[in-house]
Amino acid sequence: MKSIITFIAAIAFLAGPHGQAVELSEKDGGKIARAVGFLLSNRHFKRTPLNDDISRAFLKKYMESLDYSRMVFLQPDYEEFEAKYGTLLDNLTKRGDVSPAFEIHKRYFTRLKTAHGWLEEIIWADIDFTVEESFIPNRTKDDWPATEAEARDFWHKRIKYEVLGTRLGKRRGVEAMKAKAINGEVVKKDDGTPVTVADRGAERLLRERIGEAFPDDAIVGEEEADVAGTSGRTWILDPIDGTQSFIHGVPLYSNLVALEDEHGPAVGVINVPGLDECVWAGRGRGCFLDGEPTRVSERTDVRGACIVTSGVDYWPSAAALDQFIGKGAVIRTWGDAYGYVLVATGRADAMVDPVVFRWDVAPMLTILPEAGGVFTDLSGAVTAEGGDALATNPALLDQILDLVGRS
């Protein structure tokens, strides 16, 4: 139960602000502001004048870019900044004065820290499902909460809404899977791999929830057609990674969610419901196992290292694995996404995956670096689309690539 709550909370919290934290001085920001002001006024095909109307619109768009779901800022914050800067941003931009942007950004992180504290309380509290409440997930057209109490109530209802939806979706998927099992029916995809109604039901549920909360975002998933977006953000889903484990009742299957924005990988989540574990990470925010910070191992030598992989049948030759054994490493097939969980939490030293698709490993692009590790393909390139993958700590990277890497 706790893994479901932490899985939903991770997405709800980490998916809020999507911008990359960039170290930018007010001096540098001033140069950029002056350049933008000049280009808008002189080079834009409409020669848009920087006036009070543009100033107000820019203020609102800037705050919305930080708080897309309108659950972090308060309405008094917006009204305060609108009164202070609503008609001044055009003039300040021309002068290169970006101090309002820094002030607003600082307020945002203050509010975000408060919201994080609420989430910690909500996650570990018992949610009362006997109380009838309503929640509209898409708040992009609403005002910001009027008070902190109202904002906390929104977070409470959102988590309750997501947990309830996940529980119901999980129940429907399990019931449907049982019905299929009775008839001996497991569908084969074009590549020969199995897919269950639970795979498709879980992905459909995730798509529905993401579409409600972030209607302008693109979605890429393993089981259904891609959905185009206009926001610059893309969700990448693998509803059940480790379908063979799921079919045979082995609790090492997982739900994978990744988010990429214009700056690259932003969020990664691995939920392992059968073990009640959830690992998540946000760019610049660290990596967590069920809410506690986690790190990769500190091993510096392949000898004695625990190397995990998804299965020996994925390897073109057992000779590759023999190289690890010859170096004194221990090989275990605790694979699929759970292998990456073990590496990110320091319980295994490396995960080597000879065959992967983008949705199998997209979360690792955020999770491993935030846990102090590295994620590459077997050529050493940082990508989820290389067709193979390696996760380990920095000290072991070159040693492992020397053994099984490719040019």
Does 16 reside within a domain?
no
The total of structural domains in the chain comes to: 3
Task: Report the pLDDT averaged over residues 117-121.
Answer: 80
Q: Which residues of 384-403 are buried (b: 16+ CB within 10 A; e: fewer)?
A: bebbbbbbbbebbbebbbeb
Tell me how far the alpha carbon of residue 156 is from its chain's centroid: 20
Of 262, 293, 324, the one marking the end of a domain is 293
Higher pLDDT, 47 or 240: 240
| Domain identity same for 108 and 134 | no
* Shared-domain flag, residues 202 and 270: yes
What is the rounded distance in angstroms from the CA atom of residue 164 to the CA atom of residue 356?
A: 32
149, 270: one domain: yes
Domain end marker among 124, 140, 173? 124
Indicate the residue among 269, 293, 317 that finishes a domain.
293
18-58 tens-digit pLDDT: 444 444 455 555 554 555 454 445 544 445 555 777 778 88
Q: When comparing pLDDT for 276 and 317, which is higher?
A: 276
Whether residues 133 and 103 share a domain: the answer is no
Residues 266, 391, single domain; the answer is no
Q: Which of 66-70, 278-282, 320-324 has the highest mean pLDDT?
A: 278-282
Would residue 8 count as lying in a domain?
A: no
- Report residue 108 as tokens: 């945002």
For 143-147, 222-226, 301-305, 381-385, which range has the lowest pLDDT when averaged over its residues?
A: 222-226
The answer to whether residues 269 and 329 belong to one domain is: no
Considering the domain boundaries, does residue 317 fall inside one? yes
Per the structure, the complete domain to which residue 256 belongs is given by 129-293
- The whole-number average pLDDT for the span 268-294 is 91
247: exposed, middle or buried (Cβ count in 10 Å: 0-12, 13-18, 19+): middle
Q: Is 11 a domain residue?
A: no
DSSP letter for 245, please.
Answer: H
Give the pLDDT band (50/70/90) at residue 288: very high
- 83 and 225 fall within a common domain: no
Overall pTM > 0.85 = no
**Which single residue is written with the structure tokens 């995956």?**
353
Question: If you average pLDDT over residues 72-91, what whole number do you get?
Answer: 86
Considering the domain boundaries, does residue 261 fall inside one? yes
Could you tell me if residue 15 is inside a domain?
no
CB-side exposure of 151: number of CA atoms within 13 Å? 25
Percent of the chain scored above 70 by pLDDT?
Answer: 75
Q: What is the CATH number of the domain that holds 379?
A: 3.40.190.80
**Could you tell me if residue 207 is inside a domain?**
yes
Q: DSSP H helical segments within 265-393, as ranges?
A: 318-326, 337-344, 358-361, 364-370
Q: Are residues 254 and 366 in the same domain?
A: no
The per-residue pLDDT for 179 is 47
CATH number where 243 lies:
3.30.540.10
Considering the domain architecture, whether residues 39 and 103 belong to the same structural domain is answered as yes
76 and 223: one domain? Answer: no
- Looking at the fold, whether 191 and 336 belong to one and the same domain comes out as no
Q: Is residue 365 part of a domain?
A: yes
Q: Domain check: are 118 and 192 in the same one?
A: no
